[in-house]
Chain A
């Protein structure tokens, strides 16, 4: 922890030296997170999160709660640390050697980074959908069945078939692919691939779904379908979504958190953030003056 404290002002000084106008204004105006980082019914709570990539202080002292059965959107300009923060929630950063994470991550009262916490079990509970659709180079069926198989969640073939169909239905893909479940997952269009990835994630029935810019590689129609799907999924899952598109955040989320240069600047109800931002930076960002 000592190390963190020492590195933090250094990193800030460095970013000020090389930074642009926005950077300077951040140092001048940021004091603490504006808004309500805590919520009534949290699924995941994080406190004082710091993330380092080697010397680079990627996330600085972020505290944020994500409410159960709602969509929390993380927005902010490129390189603001929102994806890094998201990947900390299911320990996807574990495999990156230079990445050091500190702070408290609590999922339903359990410490995500505790020694006793198994990352494999954690990732079964906290699923993830990535920016670029990344179906396995297998059939559509096998893509969805893979998670069920490795976790041993079904007893027999019939049950597996049902679960696969159910997941594809929930992801709104079943009608389009029911005749070609044995076709390659990669043969689908981009939007279908992304929904396949969502089906793959919800098949193992996680509690939380993390989405890292799930629609950024999709055309508007596929994006609209994905957004509809997200709205339906929040009935059963807690969703945290990183997005570049403010319209998307406004459409799908209940709460929005605005990140800037590794800091959580402002967090609050989505309506409030987009209509009445409290912080100068948030206002500048959502009115499109930078980003």
Chain B
């Protein structure tokens, strides 16, 4: 028996192993993809209703007898006017049979409490609406919304149904009039949080996340890159530097809530920085992402071929010029990869932000980095925790927004990386 027959005998077994490994790999990729698809389908199917708003068309009398306003009224006077009363009057006019006090209250709850502010904004924008009767699309209450979307089953016996027969009859009467409309829910994208599910929006948390991450990037990227360059290119080899290096690696493994405690104790209590503010969140998240970016940046710098450094030194570039003209551009793609990982981690982080008060219920949309704010993952947490039926779809929608935010952020970073990666 010669070598080639021996090899031939073994070949079959070798190819079988290769085949088995390929199948194994492909299977695991498929399983992972399957779960990802299930997750995304589940979230998006639950989230879609949140982007549809139910509105009730009502004919509202804005005459001066009703509101005490005319075309010359100042904005302040308009703000003090009783819009709730005119909406209630409009509802009573539509259902004149309702006389009982309790039934009236039930009737009034067809329309969201936010409707009066909606009406106020419309009037402030266009004063010519005053002194006449017009039809308005007013936001429906979350129960009506749920019923229209089918989240509440009309065929259930009344005792098991959240919306009772009386209310159901009114809604069906409105439906038969064609006065119930479903439109795209801009309010979800343009307003802040609310106790009422039909009024709650994601913009507050979105802006909070944006400010927090922007500041995190601004603080952590330069510091991390500078540290990585110093440690890799300039630092002397001694015990102190070794200790620093070991501790940077250790910091990457510290549970994130510990950073939150640090933020609370040091930045808020000791330095007196504002509570619930994106800037404090950003400082805490920067501390958390620094080790990740430093470690990735250092390995990127290490991977720059020594021949490039020698080429620069050989034409008489100083150490600093060598690093900034040649090493840094070559290492930048790797540094950006580390930054993407760090920032994605920061975007999804909840625990440390709980400790510094970003879990507060905040209705206003933050306008700056020191305004109280919350962030997307915490908004998800808050809504998931709320008992109202309407928050269920909001929770999924918030997750969707978080994912979109993440994708946009990563796409931007990958675009930048590709741009710098351009190998000559």
| A18 contacts B by Cβ under 8 Å | no
**Interface residues of B, CB < 8 Å — how many?**
21
| B330 contacts A by Cβ under 8 Å | yes
Complex contact A124–B316 (CB within 8 A): yes
Residues 334-379 of B at the A interface (beta carbon under 8 Å): none
Report the minimal beta-carbon distance from B284 to chain A, rounded to whole angstroms: 37
Complex contact A151–B316 (CB within 8 A): yes
Known: A137-B423, A186-B423. A201 touches B312 (CB 8 A): no
| A103 contacts B by Cβ under 8 Å | no
| A144 CA to B315 CA, complexed, in Å | 10
Report the minimal beta-carbon distance from B90 to chain A, rounded to whole angstroms: 71
| A132 CA to B312 CA, complexed, in Å | 14
State which of B309, B313, B315, B424 has its C-beta within 8 Å of the C-beta of A186.
B424
Task: Please encode chain A, from 137 to 162, with 1 for each CB lying within 8 Å of some chain B CB and 0 for all others.
Answer: 11100000011001100000000000
Known: A97-B237, A187-B424. A136 touches B308 (CB 8 A): yes
Cross-chain pair count, CB within 8 angstroms = 72
Q: Is the interface of B mostly helix, strand, loop or mixed?
A: helix
| A127 CA to B308 CA, complexed, in Å | 15
Q: Which B residues are in CB contact (< 8 Å) with A128?
A: 310, 314
| A201 CA to B315 CA, complexed, in Å | 6
Report the minimal beta-carbon distance from A154 to chain B, rounded to whole angstroms: 14
| B26 contacts A by Cβ under 8 Å | no
Complex contact A92–B310 (CB within 8 A): yes
Report the minimal beta-carbon distance from B308 to chain A, rounded to whole angstroms: 6
| A95 CA to B234 CA, complexed, in Å | 10
| B386 contacts A by Cβ under 8 Å | no
| B159 contacts A by Cβ under 8 Å | no
Q: Which A residues are in CB contact (< 8 Å) with B309?
A: 95
Complex contact B314–A92 (CB within 8 A): yes
Complex contact B311–A136 (CB within 8 A): yes
| A39 CA to B8 CA, complexed, in Å | 66
Complex contact B311–A134 (CB within 8 A): yes
Q: Which B residues are in CB contact (< 8 Å) with A204?
A: 315-316
| A217 CA to B329 CA, complexed, in Å | 26
| A69 CA to B126 CA, complexed, in Å | 90
| A135 contacts B by Cβ under 8 Å | yes
| A176 CA to B330 CA, complexed, in Å | 28
Task: Please encode chain B, from 306 to 335, with 1 for each CB lying within 8 Å of some chain A CB and 0 for all others.
Answer: 011111111111100100011001100000
State which of A136, A151, A185, A187 has its C-beta within 8 Å of the C-beta of B312.
A136
| A130 contacts B by Cβ under 8 Å | yes
Task: Please encode chain B, from 282 to 318, with 1 for each CB lying within 8 Å of some chain A CB and 0 for all others.
Answer: 0000000000000000000000010111111111111
Complex contact A123–B314 (CB within 8 A): yes
Complex contact A127–B314 (CB within 8 A): yes
Residue of B nearest to A201 (CB): B315
**Interface residues of A, CB < 8 Å — how many?**
31
Known: A185-B424, A186-B424, A187-B424. A120 touches B308 (CB 8 A): no
Report the minimal beta-carbon distance from B302 to chain A, rounded to whole angstroms: 15
| A186 CA to B424 CA, complexed, in Å | 6
Residue of B nearest to A94 (CB): B313
| A187 CA to B315 CA, complexed, in Å | 21
Q: Which A residues are in CB contact (< 8 Å) with B307?
A: 130, 132, 134
Complex contact A147–B316 (CB within 8 A): yes
| A210 CA to B217 CA, complexed, in Å | 45
Complex contact B321–A150 (CB within 8 A): yes
| A53 CA to B47 CA, complexed, in Å | 66
Report the minimal beta-carbon distance from A282 to chain B, rounded to whole angstroms: 30
Report the minimal beta-carbon distance from A240 to chain B, rounded to whole angstroms: 14
Report the minimal beta-carbon distance from A138 to chain B, rounded to whole angstroms: 6
Complex contact B316–A150 (CB within 8 A): yes
Residue of A nearest to B423 (CB): A137
| A204 CA to B312 CA, complexed, in Å | 13
Known: A97-B237, A132-B307. A147 touches B424 (CB 8 A): no
| A30 CA to B321 CA, complexed, in Å | 45
Complex contact A95–B313 (CB within 8 A): yes
State which of B313, B314, B325 has its C-beta within 8 Å of the C-beta of A201.
B314
| A151 CA to B237 CA, complexed, in Å | 30
Known: A136-B326, A137-B424. A120 touches B311 (CB 8 A): no
Q: Which A residues are in CB contact (< 8 Å) with B318?
A: 120, 150
Residues 97-138 of A at the B interface (beta carbon under 8 Å): 97, 120-121, 123-124, 127-130, 132, 134-138
Report the minimal beta-carbon distance from A218 to chain B, rounded to whole angstroms: 16
Residues 242-291 of A at the B interface (beta carbon under 8 Å): none
| A75 contacts B by Cβ under 8 Å | no
Residue of A nearest to B308 (CB): A134
Known: A97-B237, A120-B318, A130-B307. A138 touches B424 (CB 8 A): yes
Complex contact A92–B313 (CB within 8 A): yes
Q: Which of A90, A130, A132, A134 has the most CB of B within 10 A?
A: A134
Q: Which B residues are in CB contact (< 8 Å) with A135?
A: 311
Report the minimal beta-carbon distance from B417 to chain A, rounded to whole angstroms: 15
> A134-B307, A186-B423, A187-B424 known; 17 other A-B pairs, CB under 8 Å?
A92-B313, A121-B316, A124-B316, A127-B316, A128-B310, A128-B314, A130-B310, A134-B310, A135-B311, A136-B424, A137-B330, A146-B325, A147-B316, A150-B321, A184-B424, A185-B424, A186-B424
- Name 21 A/B residue pairs within 8 A (Cβ), A-sorted: A90-B314, A92-B310, A95-B313, A120-B318, A123-B314, A127-B314, A127-B316, A128-B310, A130-B314, A135-B311, A136-B326, A137-B308, A137-B423, A137-B424, A146-B317, A150-B315, A150-B316, A150-B318, A150-B325, A201-B314, A204-B315
Interface residues of B (CB under 8 A from A): 237, 305, 307-318, 321, 325-326, 329-330, 423-424
